[in-house]
A and B are shown apart, each in its own frame.
Chain A
């Protein structure tokens, strides 16, 4: 069996390193030894597939399903999942989670003194369509403090987890909002060296997906690793 076509390695600086001292939790969790570089085998160019049965109707609407309307600014987050060759990634499972509009997560470990919202769980899920499109209806999350450093605050953000076609394309990232004054001070956002790569994690306000009298639209395209055209010799 021929060796499988390889997914490209990241261009320098476009991904964070494991160790980034301003983000304190990396100091005891980032490996100290160099990673061992290996080619992708069939084990890495395959990966789990999640069909439509994993997603129920309404799983992409975080404003419904909890017995009432959550407080906060209603937003529509939509975009496409593409690979590095610009091709859409269909059937990609997207899992999403976020704080409520007050900056509080529905989670035991979140001790921030901000109110929970009984009508908001902060969890969503969808699968991209044949053209790689996805769409969530949610609430703009609040900023919140964290203990990383004195007076540390996380910018408003939404967590995204994606499966593409392969283990090699697995991605967890965060989406940020344009104009957030906290971005220049956030160690997690700034852990990626390349400014263009960082800025691609900031959604764009979008009139086209804004629904009159209802919700503001934000557009956020996500790019997964792309494959070289020919198998490695």
Chain B
């Protein structure tokens, strides 16, 4: 058996190689989603609360029907033309990022459960020897969130770090790499 290659940081100059896939709007090639669009805004901060201006965030999600565009998802649910479920954005000078997407549908979870709608989020930056894995959940899904198997593994007092806030027509969700309001990160 082989062992997976060791991860190394993206370093400060990640944009050189990774900017080619920057896209903040998952709906840009899917005009039928125009009415369902939502914006997600937030910041990435470090253990001192300082902005992280050289991070990159990747999003992976199911479409609004709860279907992943992937060969392992063979469920009989429709795909959405032009919607891949992937986005990659750099953070700005204040650590800020913005993503436009649609709320994903529910997908199967462990042990026959159904997961609450969520985004799979990966965070890359200088100083991260491995990328960080987290999730964003939706504030208007309290009932589904309460039954979500993955959320149930998170200490109750920290679950809030994974749920966005609705404010001013957008969803707000920050990623704190470390510190008082540290975001929950997963090992999977």
Chain A contacts to B: CB under 8 angstroms = 1, 3-4, 10-11, 14-18, 20, 23, 25-33, 35-50, 54, 82-86, 95-97, 99, 105-107, 109-110, 121-125, 159, 161, 165-168, 170-174, 188-189, 191-192, 197-198, 200-201, 222-226
Contacts and interface: CB of A to CB of B under 8 A. Distances in A.
Contacts of B62: 43
Contact of B127 (A30, A54, A159): A30
Contacts of B48: 28
Given A41-B110, A43-B120, A223 B4 contact: yes
A124 B20 CA distance: 10
B1 interface: yes
Nearest to A85: B1
B15 to A, nearest CB: 7
Contacts of A85: 1-2
The 9 closest A-B pairs by CB, nearest first: A97-B17, A25-B127, A29-B127, A46-B70, A48-B86, A28-B47, A16-B129, A35-B187, A174-B8
Categorize the interface residue count of chain B: 35 or more
A106 B2 contact: no
Given A28-B47, A173-B5, 17 more contacts: A15-B7, A29-B127, A31-B132, A31-B182, A32-B179, A42-B108, A46-B73, A84-B3, A85-B1, A86-B2, A161-B18, A200-B6, A201-B5, A222-B5, A223-B2, A223-B3, A223-B4
A3 B100 CA distance: 30
A173 B2 contact: no
Nearest to A84: B2
Nearest to B75: A1
Given A15-B130, A170-B122, A42 B178 contact: no
Contacts of B69: 48-49
Interface of B: 1-18, 20-21, 46-48, 50, 52, 54, 58, 60, 62, 68-70, 72-73, 75, 84-86, 107-112, 115, 118, 120, 122, 124-133, 135, 149-150, 153-154, 158, 177-179, 182-188
B188 A39 contact: yes
Contacts of A86: 1-2
A10 B4 CA distance: 7
A132 B42 CA distance: 37
B6 A45 contact: no
Which of B17, B46, B109, B135 has most chain A Cβ within 10 Å?
Answer: B17
Nearest to B85: A48
Contacts of A40: 188
A225 B4 contact: yes
Nearest to B112: A1
B23 to A, nearest CB: 11
24 contacts: A1-B75, A1-B108, A14-B6, A18-B132, A27-B47, A28-B46, A28-B177, A30-B128, A37-B188, A43-B120, A44-B188, A46-B70, A54-B21, A84-B2, A84-B3, A123-B17, A123-B20, A125-B20, A159-B8, A159-B13, A173-B6, A188-B8, A192-B6, A198-B6
B64 to A, nearest CB: 15
